[in-house]
Chain A
Amino acid sequence: MSATQGPTTESGTPSSPAPEQPSRWNQAFREITTGNAIISVLAVVLALFVGGIMIAFTNEGVQEAAGYFFSRPGDLLREVWYSVSGAYSALFQGSVYNFRRPSFAAGIKPLTETLTFATPLIMAGLGVALGFRVGMFNIGGRGQMLIAAALGGWVGFAVDLPYGLHMVAALVAGVLGGALWGGIVGLLKARTGAHEVITTIMLNYVAFYLVSYLLREGFLKTPGSNNPKSPATKVTAVFPDLLGSTYSLHFGFILAIAATVFTWWLLSRSNLGFQFRAVGLNPHAARVAGISVKRIYVYAMLFSGGLIGLAGINQVLGTTTSGFGAGLDSGIGFDAITVALLGRSKPWGVFAAGILFGAFKAGGFSMQAAEGVPIDIVLVVQSLIVLFIAAPPLVRAIFRLPAPGSAPRRALPNVSQEVAAQ
């Protein structure tokens, strides 16, 4: 299965070289309108538009105004504008800059929230993207995060180590946990040919029940408590704050940047990464070239699981240090898939996509609080973005953009058709 090729599949056909050279501006314009970047931007716009329709339709003011639409049509438009712009400005103020706060330091706080939310999304998104580049679809983010949090979290609250070293030990344990859980999938695929989509989904549930059990009766249980929740992480293992204690942004974000650089290096500069990409592009050709495809599957899942494990340990050591439950991943494992797709499986693309989705998450909560718009709308917008990005011909058809490689519109009534007509 070629997961990476899905979003970029084109239905356009390459044309023969045009007889006359179009002007330079024209060419530049065509490159912009047919490129991938414009599709991504338009997909976001389109998804926000559909989200706006849903917000407007379910708004009570809009429904009331629609009742007397024919007597005062202006009211309806005004209500629609109020509901949609109110929701989206709350989304912006909750995720980028809050204009209602007096000082810059307070106003910029939402942006740091966005980066905090983006941190695990970037890490897990990188893991999924790495899988995509090898042609594997890792839906097991949830399970890998849980196992990583269980192992790393245990090191975080049960082991006594000096400051700094403790954090590193917990980090390593978590990453190893995620890599282990991902590696099982790679091993099963390499040894038995079991499809990774099925095994990752199944291992998600296995991990969930395993961690639930450990939290209830096993070594993750808080002594003397009936809550299925782990003890709090020890201070020596907690990530330091980056901008002081008023902001929630922590060291995890630096790790996310480091993970992005590492993945970029791994994929585009290292020997192993070359083999990864070769297997992803064509496993048969890679095998002929002497690459052990099965070994690469195992390595890829180890790295993929390790990166997702980093997201899991980030939650335990950085975001919720007061102890975790079995719902720790809170959808990040699945969001990571959409992040990887939006980032087109490129490390820095994933980084940008992670920040965008982090902004949606941070803004979604404040939108729910300020405007009463349920946060589920964020899920709708996110999934629509990915759907639209996955189908560029659809976006082109909606915005009437030319297909890449097609002849300029002016030259459409070309000679060959006339010849055929005669």
Chain B
Amino acid sequence: MSTVAPAVQPVSSTADDRPDFKIVKSWKSPIALAIFTVVAFALFVAFGREGVSTMRLSTSSDLIQLPDLLLPTRLTGIVISVLLLVITGVSVWLVQSRRQVPIWLISVYAVLFLIGFLVWAAAGESIPVPGLLFGSLSLAVPLIFGALGGVISERVGVVNIAIEGQLLAGAFTSAMVASLTNQPILGLVAAMFAGVLVSMVLASFSIKYFVDQVIVGVVLNVLVIGVTGFLYSQVMAPNAALLNQPPRFERINIPLLSEIPIIGPVLFRQTLIVYIMYVAVALVYYGIFHTRWGLRLRSVGEHPQAADTVGINVGRTRFWNVSLAGAIVGLGGAYFTLGSVGAFGKEMTAGAGFIALAAVIFGRWDPIRATLAALLFGFASNLQNVLSVIGSPVPSEFMLMLPYLITIAAVAGFVGTSRGPAASGKPYIKS
């Protein structure tokens, strides 16, 4: 693990960032890693549990059957704790020699910690790994759509606190339109329109009237909760058979890919919305970093004045990109009704928009990282579900708390630095 050439790196690693930049030693990540290592030793070794943890790797319907993985709980815990200690040592050494702790090292650490935790929690029990991952992805889908919309919106310079409202509006309209027309596709389109509508209010108030974007976002959430709640009680619930029984998307098995062990059933036996999500993640990533549209979008979000000077219409760019973000978030809202639950319920998004916002920040305003963060949050909530079935040693509330604590750690800078687009949240007033 520690095979990094020490002599050459320090100069070149700073050179490609900024030429005259004095790196300040930041002990935040080693400290965070050390804390978690202590926790690991305490849980996995000191309070280590005896027995054998079984990991079921295949479901009965798989073509290729993998045998169950049997791990002795205490031994695995000790091995993993030692590995975590090694990584912590490496990070201390890196900071000591004035270098940054790379993100991949932290990711490896996180995955190891999670495996260790899983093995520890499953002592004497068995955990269905495909089921755990499948549920995680299902819970993560709306979060990923929300996070993508959030990334676009914040990258163009408009803080999007209204993700929650956009999700809820999307869920409501998709349920209604899909029930009326009996066409889930039309429901999907309607959800996008609803998301765009909420976005346009956000955009016009923040761009035309220079209202503080956070205020508009917060108020829009309340407004959407009020409007959907009102229409639900007044119109939808009395005519539930006509208006609130949307057809759900069928699962589509992709041939060959769906037969890959472990990840096949998780990734490729999904509904249309999930496949759209894969495409959306790729498109947003490619669009933001490799096209002219993305360059303009980022320039407006980082330095609107400079963008204006070279002839980019800041207001218009912001308006249409925020609208686009709303359309994407709306798709996530449709997943609640057409993908998972099947019918609209009051305030059914239950804070998913805020977790998506957390994913945006934890993912440092990058579509891929935000997606991974959303997956992590989905994993944390589903882990809680699975553990509550097999009898969790940790109270479920603390598992549910995890995404939020991680986000606080992220914004406080314990997991690398997180800096948003420079002009995000600031109205551009042309002088």
Contacts and interface: CB of A to CB of B under 8 A. Distances in A.
Interface of A: 1-3, 5-7, 9, 11, 54, 58, 137, 139, 188, 191-195, 197-199, 201-203, 205-206, 209-210, 212-213, 216-217, 334, 337-338, 341, 373-374, 376-384, 386-387, 390-391, 393-394
A334 B217 CA distance: 12
Nearest to A385: B219
B234 A393 contact: no
A213 B408 CA distance: 20
Given A376-B233, A387-B220, A391-B209, 9 more contacts: A2-B212, A6-B210, A202-B404, A206-B401, A374-B230, A383-B220, A386-B215, A387-B201, A394-B209
A322 to B, nearest CB: 23
B209 A393 contact: yes
Q: Which 3 A-B pairs have the closest CB atoms?
A: A379-B226, A6-B212, A376-B229
B252 interface: no
B307 interface: no
B354 interface: yes
A144 B112 CA distance: 35
B382 to A, nearest CB: 16
A213 B214 contact: no
Given A197-B214, A205-B404, A216-B397, A377 B205 contact: no
A383 B219 contact: yes
A390 B219 contact: yes
Given A54-B230, A202-B408, A390 B215 contact: yes
B413 interface: yes
B413 A376 contact: no
B225 to A, nearest CB: 6
A180 to B, nearest CB: 15
Nearest to A374: B233
A210 B401 contact: yes
A3 B210 CA distance: 11
Contacts, number: 150
B401 A205 contact: yes
Most chain B CB within a 10 A radius of its CB, from A193, A197, A202, A384: A202
B169 interface: no
Nearest to A185: B408
B230 A1 contact: no
Interface string B406-418: 0110011100000
Contact of B354 (A201, A337, A384): A201
Given A194-B413, A197-B161, A210-B397, A387 B223 contact: yes
B214 A137 contact: yes
B219 A338 contact: yes
Interface string B185-213: 00000000000000001000100011110
Most chain B CB within a 10 A radius of its CB, from A193, A195, A376, A378: A376
B351 interface: yes
Interface string B130-146: 00000000000000000
Given A209-B401, A210-B401, A384 B223 contact: yes
A374 B346 CA distance: 12
Contacts of B216: 387, 390
B226 A378 contact: yes
B357 A201 contact: yes
Contacts of B400: 205, 209
Assign chain B's interface to a size class.
35 or more
30 contacts: A5-B212, A6-B211, A7-B215, A58-B234, A193-B413, A194-B408, A197-B214, A198-B357, A198-B407, A201-B354, A202-B358, A205-B351, A205-B404, A209-B398, A210-B397, A212-B397, A213-B397, A341-B215, A374-B233, A374-B234, A376-B225, A376-B232, A377-B230, A379-B223, A379-B225, A379-B226, A384-B223, A387-B219, A390-B219, A391-B205
A380 B227 CA distance: 6
Contacts of B223: 379-380, 383-384, 387
B218 interface: yes
A206 to B, nearest CB: 5
Contacts of B412: 188, 191-192, 194, 199
A194 B211 CA distance: 23
A203 B212 contact: no
A378 B220 CA distance: 14
B306 interface: no
Contacts of A341: 215, 219
Contacts of A205: 351, 354, 400-401, 404
Nearest to A58: B234
Contacts of A387: 201, 205, 211, 216, 219-220, 223
A374 B214 contact: no
Contacts of B227: 54, 376, 380
A193 B351 CA distance: 25
Contacts of B407: 198, 202
B226 A376 contact: yes
Most chain B CB within a 10 A radius of its CB, from A11, A194, A382: A194
B361 interface: yes
A373 B234 CA distance: 7
A48 B226 CA distance: 14
Most chain B CB within a 10 A radius of its CB, from A334, A374, A378: A374
Given A376-B226, A378-B226, A390-B205, A334 B218 contact: yes
A337 B218 contact: yes
Given A198-B358, A390-B209, A379 B222 contact: yes
B348 to A, nearest CB: 14
Nearest to B418: A194
B405 interface: yes
Nearest to B28: A192
Contacts of A209: 397-398, 400-401
B94 to A, nearest CB: 20
Most chain A CB within a 10 A radius of its CB, from B218, B235, B397: B397
